[in-house]
Chain A
Amino acid sequence: MTGPFLLLHPNDNVLVARALAPEGLEVALEGGTVRLSRPIPMAHKIARHAIDEGTRILKYGMPIGIATQAIAAGEHVHVHNIRSAYTATHVLQDADGVSAGVSQ
């Protein structure tokens, strides 16, 4: 599989960008094609399908956090809409995942 996004485990509800995916890119998901509303940097995640608030986020088939709001299919999944079930994540100004440090 050499598409722009990787499915790491069949149970996952997120996909991982294998390279920077530009804003407006059309991505074919099981539920239909979505258009990215913002660029997704390499190794960031998008929702594989719509995710309800309070749902466990699965990556590698394992829980990596909990949705703090409803997330639409194809939306960026990151510190702005999921939280740790353990220790809160410390971030700088990039609450939405964007900062000068994001690899382009």
Chain B
Amino acid sequence: MISGYLRADGRKGIRNTVVVAYLVECAHFVASKIVAGFDGEDVQLIGFPGCFPNEYAAQMMERLCTHPNVGAVLFVSLGCESFDKVRVSNVVSESGRPVKTLVIQKAGGTAGTVQAGRDWVRATLDQIAKAPRAAMGVDELIIGTVCGGSDGTSGISGNPAAGKAFDLLVGEGAACIFEETGELIGCEEIMAERAITPELGQALRESVQKAERYYATLGYGSFAAGNAAGGLSTIEEKSLGAYVKSGDSPISGLIKPGDVPPRGGLYLMDVVPDGEVRFGFPNISDNAEIVEMIASGAHLTLFVTGRGSVVGSAISPVIKICANPDTYRALEGDMDVNAGDIIEGKRSIEAVGQEIRDLVVAVASGAQTKSEALGHREFILTYKSFEPIGPACLPASA
């Protein structure tokens, strides 16, 4: 049984992090200096760079700062930015977490704010060390999956193994989220057939069609040059490889960033903004997707890579699954699971899937992932806009 951190809202976390969040790029450096005073302790930096208001970013920040892995939050504001710091602070306060906002323009500038911030974090670390613990089952976990730095091995070894792990975890009652509708182009029909209702199936289909229109307007697919060097020729080839990481479970719902799955099951996250193309590419890099799944409650993320990504994440640990045996040998220090064994005929997809499932439970129980131990805490949040999900997207349990 996992020993979770019990939060006032009843949700349970697998980490107990103090988050320091800058509310505009102008406060980024000061916030990072505060965090730098706590090397080796669980104090992490997140933030939003923009000075213009954005409802998506505001909601994401609220979700992230009340994530069950977060124990307390320090906001760092320059003072004149548009981010509504009172609203976000109230949301965190109402969640029962210690929260403080420092305004650089009123707190003595850089030096004064860094000192005040470090003093608050030091005292708060001691305070939240006493957070109540509670037994936590696999059925209380939310797990996301992404792939990044994909190559032709991803769809043969790493993603099928992640899909097998998802099948095992969904079978145990966990909520599992897969994503990037732009990387499901070409899979919409086979995916729609897995929906628990026809109406949800249609919503899944439409979410991929939206992604196709969005990327067509931008002129690029969700496809990097390294994907081609790694043997992938087209977006639909990449999509089919990415799709298998969803496993074989029925699809229980379609959510958008920040929507928390209401119960166990498999969920697709629609990450492509609604309306006209406004703020550029939906997710400019892999960490943007990871952050969105964390905002939807993901306690940890499975990251499948072929070319070799080394990223981790703020707030929730990342388990790195390496699909390519050559990459695994080159980057072993960054990789948690060697799915390349499947390519080389040494292990089955089932065996690697079981290893991933067991590692999920171990990490939820406190074991550090490779990226966590190395100190990776990447984070990115940019401008987007979404409409709420429609009534067909979360059918009552079928």
Contact = CB atoms under 8 A, between A and B. Distances in A.
A34 to B, nearest CB: 19
Interface in B185-235: 185-186, 190, 212, 215-216, 220-221, 223-226, 228-231, 233-235
A103 B153 CA distance: 12
B228 A6 contact: no
Contact of A78 (B153, B156, B233, B324): B233
Given A42-B152, A43-B231, A101 B225 contact: yes
Nearest to A8: B156
Contacts of B345: 2, 18
Tell me which of B236, B244, B307 has the highest count of chain A C-beta atoms within 10 A of its own C-beta. B236
Contact of A86 (B229, B234, B306): B234
Interface in A78-104: 78-79, 82-92, 94, 97, 99, 101-103
Contacts of A90: 220-221, 223-225
A91 B241 CA distance: 19
Contacts of B216: 87
Contacts of A6: 156
Given A18-B343, A78-B228, A89-B223, A42 B326 contact: yes
B135 to A, nearest CB: 41
Nearest to A78: B233
B179 interface: no
A89 B229 contact: no
B233 A82 contact: yes
A48 interface: no
A43 B306 contact: yes
B324 A103 contact: yes
A45 B240 CA distance: 15
Given A18-B343, A45-B152, A103-B230, A84 B235 contact: yes
Size class of the contact patch on chain A? 35 or more
A47 to B, nearest CB: 12
Interface in B243-264: 244
Tell me which of B151, B152, B185, B241 has the highest count of chain A C-beta atoms within 10 A of its own C-beta. B152
B231 A45 contact: yes
Contacts of B237: 59, 64-65
Contacts of A8: 156
Contacts of A77: 233
Contacts of B84: none
B344 interface: yes
A79 B307 CA distance: 18
Contacts of B244: 60
A63 B186 contact: yes
A40 to B, nearest CB: 9
A87 B228 CA distance: 14
A97 B229 contact: yes
A69 to B, nearest CB: 13
A79 B229 CA distance: 10
Contacts of B229: 92, 94, 97, 99, 101-103
Given A45-B152, A87-B221, A79 B233 contact: yes
A74 interface: no
A86 B221 contact: yes
Given A8-B156, A101-B225, A103-B327, A41 B231 contact: yes
A63 B231 contact: no
B228 A91 contact: yes
Contacts of B215: 87
B221 A78 contact: no
Interface in B150-208: 151-153, 155-156, 185-186, 190
Given A87-B215, A90-B220, A90-B223, A63 B156 contact: no
The 8 closest A-B pairs by CB, nearest first: A43-B152, A87-B221, A64-B237, A84-B234, A43-B231, A101-B229, A44-B231, A65-B234
Given A16-B152, A44-B231, A88-B221, 19 more contacts: A43-B151, A43-B153, A43-B156, A43-B231, A43-B306, A59-B237, A59-B240, A65-B237, A79-B233, A79-B234, A82-B233, A84-B221, A84-B234, A85-B234, A85-B236, A89-B223, A89-B228, A90-B225, A92-B229
